[in-house]
Amino acid sequence: MKQLIFIRSILIALLLSSTANATGPRVSPSLISTASDIYTVRLPPIIDPGNQYACYLGEVVYKVLHQQKIDAVLSSVPLLSMLKYYLFKDNALAVLSPYLHLSESQKEDLIIIPIDSIQESYIYYKPHHPNGLAWKGNLNNLKGLRFGTIKGDQVKKFQQAGINVKTTRIDNLLNKLVANEIDFIRLPDVSLDSYIKENFSNQKDNFEKMKISAGAMSLAIIFNKKHPKGEEMAEKFKQGIKLLIQGGQFQQIKSQYF
């Protein structure tokens, strides 16, 4: 399975580089197998389709898919906007993303199944702010600063507080902090630790979390009613996640990461 995911990710990247146009990328699951795609963005160690047995939601989702005999695989895309394309334009089976903000009208065609919620923090780079940053539960205390996030995130409250919003890919946020192109970001604590270990292990003491939590990130899988098997697979997944929780397997997986 791990090799399959790796190959799928490479093919998607190659096709996007050659066929992307104004209508969005089109990658057919039939290029690899008959399995339906569940699209997601990489946010280790929570979501990492290329390493599904070493990421929290990957383990949970694949356990449910296997137990419920749902023929689907996780496929990674680099941009949040692509998730919406696959969901609403290509009628994908499902997406898995904490950053997919949806309108009420969009939700009418979807089945949202909550999985978990995890705490996030605001983070800054100490060498650029030696006196520290503190939002103290009020974003107005960060007025005039630059907030880095991914395109498609909800940023109205930051703009209303006089904060400048800069967007980039999620795996580039720490680079932007170090380069002093942004002042602070928001990430789950486990993801911050993972990115630091992966790319900035010699600078881990330079990244500081603001003391008050930035809130909770909701984790959910979103099934598409317009997919021929969307409602059927959503019901199977609901039953599967329920059994996983009741049997203690869910908590066993989570305890490996939190």
Where residue 36 sits, what CATH number does that domain have?
A: 3.40.190.10
Residues 89 and 156 reside in one and the same domain: no
Residues 195 and 122 reside in one and the same domain: yes
Residues 40 and 70 reside in one and the same domain: yes
Residues 136 and 225 reside in one and the same domain: no
- State residue 257 phi and psi, 5-degree precision: -120, -20
Q: pLDDT grade, residue 130 (50/70/90)?
A: very high
Q: Find out whether 74 and 38 touch, Cβ atoms under 8 Å.
A: yes
Q: pLDDT grade, residue 15 (50/70/90)?
A: very low
- State residue 85 phi and psi, 5-degree precision: -60, -50
pLDDT score for 158: 98
Segment 43-70, tens digit of pLDDT: 999 998 778 678 999 999 999 999 999 9
Residue 2 pLDDT more than 80? no
Average the pLDDT over 219-243 and give the result: 97
Residues 183 and 111 reside in one and the same domain: no
Q: pLDDT grade, residue 87 (50/70/90)?
A: very high
Residues 14 and 109 reside in one and the same domain: yes
| Structure-block tokens of residue 219 | 């984790």
pLDDT score for 153: 87
Total domains, the chain? 2
Residues 224 and 212 reside in one and the same domain: no
pLDDT score for 33: 54
Residues 111 and 7 reside in one and the same domain: yes
Query: Could you tell me the residue range of the domain that residue 178 belongs to?
Result: 118-216
